[in-house]
Structure 1
């Protein structure tokens, strides 16, 4: 599916036309979008479809929650969460530029972070992943395409700094935690304007995402950032490492009204 997303359909078609007609063809895909169905029906004769788990299935041991937050406050919330959780953290960004920026700011927060995305060489991506696996890096910031194939055990927390473009990617992202019988947690950031994106994800996973109340946050990062040749640097929080109040509380309700069927209206 990702090969098609990246524009390799012509190459796949060329390969399929070059191989013998009498053959056994096995097609594996994490998702089954229309492009994959078309490829299967074009080059496979009466294929048998085996589905390991229904689309949108998430692991039962993953606790999911979402924060409704302004874009400019996301870094403050990320900073707070990295204080609350002490284990390894996988952060997803929608863009390569965003992943680079987030990793840089997280390092300035005092956490060792690495980044993997298409603008990083294969050797740098391997080093980042190996360092994340060994504990050299506590935080790994990734884009969806670069994160395919990440298999690291004991990831405590997955943070969706940006909601994914495709709802199916939400399932793939949070599936990096809660593996091998371990419990995991997935926290997503959504802006007030992303109501529809949340609803699409909820329809896919067939459950409502609990909306959590925002904790007390440090001043917006913009007030503590200094520009330096186009990069952003995060200075120390006012008050040093003082506790910032109690852990956040789960909101009883939602900013989005829910109808009688439990969906957000």
Structure 2
């Protein structure tokens, strides 16, 4: 007799023997469990309900992203920002069925109201000729899938949530509309000293802000050479002397590209204001809403005076962030060219079981897989310095960067790596998000990161554009089963080889997750667990609790 049948028989027998007495709680629990075992769909529905409830609770307990002045007066904008841009007439008259065929061809998923048409040619974005000339100079011929749809949304004044693989060209989607909006505002009402900016772009790291600044300046300089007004772009990051940009501050910036900490400092000192700013971008938005940045970002939004167009972009955008963004944005359009948190399909992922004390030897072997340039990621600053020193001793042209180095050293390392005078860059995750290095052949994860989101961003430094890359990851007993289970499912999704050590990790709920139709944890996007078991959520909860306890102690409680 099978286990389920025997349990059913015992339950029926107990029921007959207790006809005239109410069932005990234990008996009722056994019957419920039996019914769930016989009907997996009910358990799958329970999982779906639990996930939805967790996300709902998180969103309900999180204040929407808006200035205090708007919240206090109950101001909620219901209409998107007006825009003077319109697509060409042939695209305006294109039937929705034809628009959908284009989106299906390029695997573009959209969600929102009154979605602008996809645009397949740069000239149909009605950009000035100097910008088109800059495209030609850079060798950019046609828009990428995310640009085809998201660019027209941004130019139309719509709030956008953009999700795409790393290396898919997300930066241009928000840089070009920022330039066009600022140029239009400057022609209508020139900025004077103490005024500006019209557009703000926030980045989680100094290196990403610097990279965005460089991209912006290419197009701004091209416009100026073409006879258009020269826009003033302010780079506002830690580690640089802001007095070097005193002329921009004196005459007023049109565009500000910043990290949250330094921007808060500058706004607090009154060096410029956001009174006229109506265009704001949060690059790597999921990182911007982490505990480390959340308060800074909210403080920045308190400086806005009017409605603004808001754009959020990232390769990893968990459901929690998407739902929060829906609440904070005005009729946003979600443009997705890949599952949020999915790995780039152009990256060959290889996972190797390596003991901690043997990593250095295996590192040299891994470096032989491809030629340079190679990017090596470590979890902490000490390992970055150790690995860099070891490679230099072995005659490898290596440089390093991490948060403990001053800005000059960090920028020098990036510069040497980009110009080819260094073959290997050893770095912490400060180099993993958004940075665009040319033709990276190989990414090596000296340590498996603690969160699967960081793994996605790391390996996304290779396989960019139309190139194929290799990612090698060392794992061992120091790697948590939770993140390894996420890695296993990620490899399965990308149809990559799964080593035996990952196959052996217990995965008792895999079939149930499939039945529930889950597309990854709503908190971090990991495929191997659900929100209730998310290590990132548990860690953030502990931080909040520790902060609350510390605050209570500071108030002279009985702790």
Question: Shorter-chain TM-score: what band?
Answer: 0.7 to 0.9
Stretch of structure 1 that moved more, 87-96 or 6-15: 6-15
Q: CA deviation at 1:4?
A: 3.7
Residue matched to 1:171: 456
Structure 2 CA distance for aligned equivalents of residues 193 and 181 of structure 1: 35
Stretch of structure 1 that moved more, 197-206 or 178-187: 197-206
Q: Does the aligned pair in 1 maintain the 2:398–2:424 contact within 8 Å?
A: yes
Residue matched to 2:489: 203
Residue matched to 1:55: 340
Residue matched to 1:102: 387
Residue matched to 1:257: 504
Structure 1 CA distance for aligned equivalents of residues 409 and 466 of structure 2: 31
1:191 aligns with 2:476: yes
1:22 aligns with 2:307: yes
Q: Deviations over 1:19-45 (max 9, x none)?
A: 134232222233224774475255323
Q: TM-score, with normalisation over the residues of structure 2?
A: 0.37
Structure 1 CA distance for aligned equivalents of residues 430 and 291 of structure 2: 9
Q: CA deviation at 1:133?
A: 1.2
- Unaligned regions of 5+ residues in structure 1, if any? 213-252
Supply the RMSD in Å over aligned alpha carbons: 2.9
Residue matched to 2:466: 181
Structure 1 CA distance for aligned equivalents of residues 379 and 349 of structure 2: 19
Q: TM-score, with normalisation over the residues of structure 1?
A: 0.73
Q: Does the aligned pair in 2 maintain the 1:89–1:140 contact within 8 Å?
A: yes
SS of the counterpart of 1:25? strand
- Unaligned regions of 5+ residues in structure 2, if any? 1-285, 512-527, 529-559
- How is 1:56-95 mapped onto 2 (pairs within 5 angstroms)? 56-95=341-380
More strand by share: 1
Stretch of structure 1 that moved more, 89-98 or 76-85: 76-85
Structure 1 CA distance for aligned equivalents of residues 402 and 307 of structure 2: 39
Structure 2 CA distance for aligned equivalents of residues 183 and 42 of structure 1: 38
SS of the counterpart of 2:504? coil
CA separation of 1:173 and 1:16: change in aligned 2, threshold 3 A: same
Q: CA deviation at 1:145?
A: 2.3
CA separation of 1:158 and 1:93: change in aligned 2, threshold 3 A: same
SS of the counterpart of 1:187? strand
Stretch of structure 1 that moved more, 121-130 or 17-26: 17-26
**Alignment partner for residue 150 of structure 1, among 425, 429, 435?**
435
SS of the counterpart of 2:375? strand
SS of the counterpart of 1:50? strand
Q: CA deviation at 1:254?
A: 4.6
CA separation of 1:255 and 1:27: change in aligned 2, threshold 3 A: closer
Q: How many residues align?
A: 224
More helix by share: 2
SS of the counterpart of 1:151? coil
- How is 1:211-226 mapped onto 2 (pairs within 5 angstroms)? none
Q: Does the aligned pair in 1 maintain the 2:348–2:496 contact within 8 Å?
A: no
Structure 1 CA distance for aligned equivalents of residues 322 and 288 of structure 2: 14
CA separation of 1:256 and 1:193: change in aligned 2, threshold 3 A: farther
1:130 aligns with 2:130: no
Residue matched to 2:398: 113
Q: CA deviation at 1:85?
A: 3.2
CA separation of 1:96 and 1:108: change in aligned 2, threshold 3 A: same
CA separation of 1:84 and 1:10: change in aligned 2, threshold 3 A: closer
Q: Deviations over 1:116-155 (max 9, x none)?
A: 1111122211111111111111110111123334212221
Q: Does the aligned pair in 1 maintain the 2:437–2:461 contact within 8 Å?
A: yes
Q: Does the aligned pair in 1 maintain the 2:359–2:446 contact within 8 Å?
A: yes
Residue matched to 1:7: 292
Q: Does the aligned pair in 1 maintain the 2:488–2:498 contact within 8 Å?
A: no
Stretch of structure 1 that moved more, 192-201 or 164-173: 192-201
Residue matched to 2:76: none
Structure 2 CA distance for aligned equivalents of residues 8 and 63 of structure 1: 32
Larger radius of gyration: 2
Structure 1 CA distance for aligned equivalents of residues 366 and 308 of structure 2: 52
Structure 1 CA distance for aligned equivalents of residues 333 and 301 of structure 2: 19
